Amino acid sequence: MDKKITIAIDGFSSTGKSTVAKRLAKELGYVYVDTGAMYRAVTLYMMRKVFVSEGNFDKEAIVRHLPFISLRFEFDEDLGYGHMFLNDENVEKEIRYMEVSQQVSKVSAISEVRKMLVEQQQEMGKSKGVVMDGRDIGTVVFPDAELKLFMTASTEKRAQRRYDELKGRGDDVNFDEVLQNVKDRDYMDSTREDSPLIMAEDAIEFDNSSMGLDDQFEEVLKIARDKIAEVNS
């Protein structure tokens, strides 16, 4: 039986990391972990407590309430990946709202939040055979991952993808708002003190600005299979 590897997929928001990671995990028979969903779930909890809003950010209260948060993924056989559960509530839809997107970078910049979630992510992936996507998987969560990919695309292209996704879901958004959100998240993710978004030295940079989802997936799948073959040779 082939040895399984750890696949870390990092990159900017709206580069299609999760979409590719889900398909890749399903094709390889690996476990998929959406770390972004974990940060979004924590953010949703804090927004519901009104510790985080457009004009309010109570860091002390956020840290104080972390012990009251329970996160888990419940696997969906048909989809091939898990839905995010926050304190036993399926919040997969709610965590994707634009309001959460506007606050998640601020919450995820808190060291105590990152420490809690990184520990959970490392536990999820310790048996290998995992595809995990996020912002610091190859640099912090799994610095020894056998395969690291860093996804990127132009700001405008990423904003258009995000806008199309939100409109397709029925959300009332405008393109300029989405574009500004992408720019804001890029800045916050790249400049935060704790685990900023940077490309690992041994990561493969993957610019998908001009690629469709299928072409992107096929190329990533080839890279993954080549690495698995190399590890098992």
pLDDT tens column, 117-161? 999 999 988 889 999 999 999 999 999 999 999 999 999 999 999
Task: Decide if 52 is inside a domain.
Answer: yes
Domain with residue 108: its CATH number is 3.40.50.300
pLDDT per position as a tens digit, 155-211: 999 999 999 988 998 888 999 999 999 999 999 999 998 989 999 999 999 999 999
Q: Containing domain of residue 118, as a range? A: 6-224
Residue 14 labelled as part of a binding site: yes
Residue 206 lies in a domain: yes
Give the count of beta carbons closer than 10 Å to the beta carbon of residue 62.
21
Assigned token pair, 45: 């909890």
Q: Is 13 annotated as belonging to a binding site?
A: yes
Rounded Cα gap, residues 97 and 19, in angstroms: 17
Q: Is residue 230 one of the residues assigned to a domain? A: no
Q: Please indicate if the annotation marks 210 as binding a ligand.
A: no
Q: Is 55 annotated as a binding residue?
A: no
**What's the start-to-end Cα distance of the chain, in Å?**
12
- Classify residue 121: in a domain, yes or no: yes
Is position 142 annotated in a ligand binding site?
no
In total, how many domains does the chain have? Answer: 1
In a domain, residue 79? The reply is yes
**Per the domain annotation, does 99 fall within a domain?**
yes
The answer to whether the CB of 8 falls within 8 A of the CB of 142 is yes
- Residue 6 labeled ligand binder: no
pLDDT, residue 1, reads 74
15 is in an annotated binding site: yes
